[in-house]
Amino acid sequence: MTLSRVRGEVKSLLKARKLGVSTPALYHVDIDASAIIMEHINGKSVKAMLREDVLEDATAILLMQAIAEQIVKLHDGGLVHGDLTTSNMLVVVDPGNTMKILIIDFGLSYNSTFPEDKAVDLYVLERAFASAHAEKGAQYFEAFMDAYKKKSRFWSSTFNRFAEVRMRGRKRAMIG
């Protein structure tokens, strides 16, 4: 990992936490060794949890709402994740059986308030749901988008761009 990537990931992680996004705690950064030491999270990736297919539909909807809440905090705060997949989201279930979502891997994150950049983030997530969760991926993503719309102050411009990004992605898929 390069020095600039380590610094960038640390800055993005700290900004995300400042925005109220749940992330692992940052304990130590060793620039010379290009190492970031973070809290160990005892949880499962959203990808693994959804693949187990043990969630009732109502619980899966609550999970999508919790994910949307975290992503809206990022996006409305001017931070784009850059690799928004279900592998980069952890689910921790507390003793009271409440699910908490933590966002991880800020290595490709960057600051941006442009709807295009947020829309690309959402498109990457849509593709992740479609490829990793084929049977219910569209349903999960629709629930996520409904929750995102309800929580985001800037959802309209992001959704307009998302439609354009999605069309470009489909055209590329047909060509390739």
Going by the DSSP 8-state scheme, the letter that residue 24 receives in this structure is P
* 130 closest CA partner among 144, 141, 122: 141
Which position has the token pair 């994740």?
Answer: 81
Summarised one tens digit per residue, pLDDT across range 131-145 is 887 788 899 999 999
Sequence-ordered list of residues with C-beta below 8 angstroms from that of 144, at least 6 positions apart, any chain: 64, 65, 67, 68, 71, 125, 129
Express as a percent the part of the chain with pLDDT over 70: 95
pLDDT-derived band at 122, boundaries 50, 70, 90: very high
Name the phi and psi angles at 97, rounded to 5.
70, 25
Q: How many CB atoms lie within 10 A of CB 90?
A: 22
pLDDT at 48 over 80: yes
Residues marked as catalytic: 83
Instruction: Tokens for 122, please give them.
Output: 């959402």
Instruction: For residues 163 and 126, give the distance between their C-alpha atoms in angstroms, rounded to a whole number.
Output: 12
Report how far apart, in Å, the C-alpha atoms of 138 and of each of 7, 64, 108, 127, 146 are. Answer: 35, 12, 25, 10, 12
Regarding the domain delimited by 41-175, which CATH topology (the fold level of the hierarchy) does it fall under? Answer: Transferase(Phosphotransferase); domain 1 (1.10.510)
Give the pLDDT confidence score for residue 175 in this predicted structure.
60
Q: Where are the domains of the chain?
A: 41-175
Instruction: Tokens for 44, please give them.
Output: 């499962």
